[in-house]
Structure 1
Amino acid sequence: MELTFASYNIHKAVGLDRRRDPDRILAILHEIDADVIALQEADRRFGRRESVLPLDRIEDLGHYKAIQLGHRPHSIGWHGNALLVRRHFDVVHAGVVALPTIEPRGAVRADLLAQGRRLRVVGMHLDLSGLRRRHQLRTILTHLGRTDHHCPTVLMGDFNEWSLHGGSLREFHAPWRVLMPGASFPSRRPIAALDRVVVSAEWELLEAGVHHSPLSARGSDHLPVFARLKLPKF
């Protein structure tokens, strides 16, 4: 089974032209054509925290559904984190992972059934503080260590980590593997690999990269990253 996972900080759908354009973000998601997408900054920050990507527009894409977390009626996520998956995937479990933070940061988790296999995905947006990022990753890894039903897992999101191999990334030990899709920030001239994908041992990496297109170059201050992964047969 081969699946493509993608992560995209959509900056509340505000592009480099300072226009909020949900349709542009949806067009970029269509370009990526991933099976599972983790979004960051997908909700407005104040008021009702409604999604910047209306549900009916997501459904218009035809093959995605937003995983419902049930925390805010007008939001598709939690603290801006949201997960989109193929419509034919079954959602076995969905919830949030509360992170130690002062800023409104968080992580979301979902267990999915795809082609008869149970998969786990976590989307996250980590803190600007290096020490707090380490605490947040420890919290996520502890949460995963306590879950039932061990299964192939993918962690992805905006790690806010400028170091290529050190810093908060030292929290990951074998068998976890930190992938390097490439520089994704800032989108106009990317120099930092802030957006990462981390996988458990079961996955075989086929390809990882940064989605750079005319639309994505101006759709947000981040570029989307992706990883195409393969699971061996049972």
Structure 2
Amino acid sequence: MFQFRSIVASCCFLFAATSFLCSYVVAAETIESPADDQEHSFEGTLRVLSYNIHHAEGVDGKLDLVRIANLIKSVRADIVLLQEVDQEVARSESVDQPTQFGALTKMEFAFGKNIPLQGGGYGNAILSRWPIRDIQNHLLPNLENGEQRGVLSGVIEIGSAELPAIRVLATHFDHRRKDEERFQSAAKVTEMIIGTTEMPVLFGGDLNDDAESRTVKRLSENLVFTNQKPLPTIPVTKPTRQIDFIAYYPATAWKVLETTVLDEAIASDHRAILSVLEFQPNAK
């Protein structure tokens, strides 16, 4: 289980960790972060951001959580999927980054550790304007002793009559040239989404493969990606390939109003991708 600690003296955090559900699920965490005075209402659209933050180290070599948080706030994101997040890791000054991002953005958060690293943990995180429950961190297939990858899953309680809750999944697939692990991971994610939920699903992250890969095509058999034409996200200075994606399920649940790659080329070695989605309550 992870160790939690408060970083904002004026705030009171509630701590919780999921129990081990099976041999394929590992612990994840959520902590209630400071909320705005006004209640967050759902008005039919969601602004969803996916961002590989490179443990908040920019291409300028500076470790800066504030500029990541400011980017999130600047696009008024409702739900954020973060990859390459450190929790109390020595290389990033042993800062509890999930807790920091929750405090800086005033959003709820969940974190799933996939790799023990330098005294802490490394994995994915979800930020949300609304409460997150049923948090599970699922380990993905690991072939040939690669880095352990995972999918962080949580139910976001939006509380609207038309959309009470959605399930959100954040992931980061293997980076190596051979794609077998990514392909198996795509199959595992599909199994999770199709087999375990009746509510609308949002999925995203760094897939380390492009739209023409068999990995993305496998996911596309059931999920709908929010852009049909490539929107390059790497290399960050002059992007030529899209490997960061947002998708949803089922196909009739959402209408894509906009998808764009943000014009920020310093804070990380990836660019962030933002999708604005409109819920379709009467769709079948």
TM category (shorter chain) comes to 0.7 to 0.9
What residue ranges of structure 2 are gaps of 5+ in the alignment? 1-43
Deviation at 1:175, TM superposition (A): 4.5
How far apart, in 1, do the equivalents of 2:101 and 2:181 lie? 35
Could you give the per-residue CA deviations for residues 160-199 of structure 1, whole angstroms, max 9, x where no partner exists?
Answer: 003x333211212444212337111111111110101111
Report if aligned partners of 1:79, 1:104 keep a CA contact under 8 Å in 2.
Answer: no
Normalization by structure 2: what TM-score?
0.71
What residue ranges of structure 1 are gaps of 5+ in the alignment? none
Name segments (4+ residues, structure 1) moved above 3 Å.
44-52, 68-72
The 5-angstrom pairing of residues 1-234 of structure 1 reads 1-43=44-86, 53=97, 55-56=99-100, 58-62=102-106, 64-67=107-110, 79-86=122-129, 89-101=130-142, 102-116=146-160, 117-128=164-175, 129-147=178-196, 149-162=197-210, 164-180=211-227, 182-200=231-249, 201=251, 202-212=253-263, 216-233=264-281
Q: Which amino acid aligns with 1:122?
A: L
How far apart, in 2, do the equivalents of 1:174 and 1:69 lie? 27
How far apart, in 2, do the equivalents of 1:196 and 1:57 lie? 21
Could you give the per-residue CA deviations for residues 138-161 of structure 1, whole angstroms, max 9, x where no partner exists?
Answer: 1111122331x4111111000000
Could you give the per-residue CA deviations for residues 87-114 of structure 1, whole angstroms, max 9, x where no partner exists?
Answer: xx13231111110122131110011121
How far apart, in 1, do the equivalents of 2:122 and 2:219 lie? 24
Report if aligned partners of 1:12, 1:52 keep a CA contact under 8 Å in 2.
Answer: no
Deviation at 1:57, TM superposition (A): 5.3
Equivalent pairs counted in the alignment come to 223
**Root mean square deviation of aligned Cα:** 2.7
Larger Rg, first or second structure (1 or 2):
2
Report if aligned partners of 1:78, 1:96 keep a CA contact under 8 Å in 2.
Answer: no
Using the aligned pairs only, state the percent identity: 25
Of structures 1 and 2, the one scoring higher in RCO (CA 8 A, sep 6+) is 1
Q: Alpha carbons of 1:196 and 1:78: their partners in 2 closer, same or farther (altered >3 Å)?
A: farther
Report if aligned partners of 2:49, 2:275 keep a CA contact under 8 Å in 1.
Answer: yes
Report if aligned partners of 1:97, 1:143 keep a CA contact under 8 Å in 2.
Answer: no
Q: Which amino acid aligns with 1:167?
A: R
Normalization by structure 1: what TM-score?
0.85
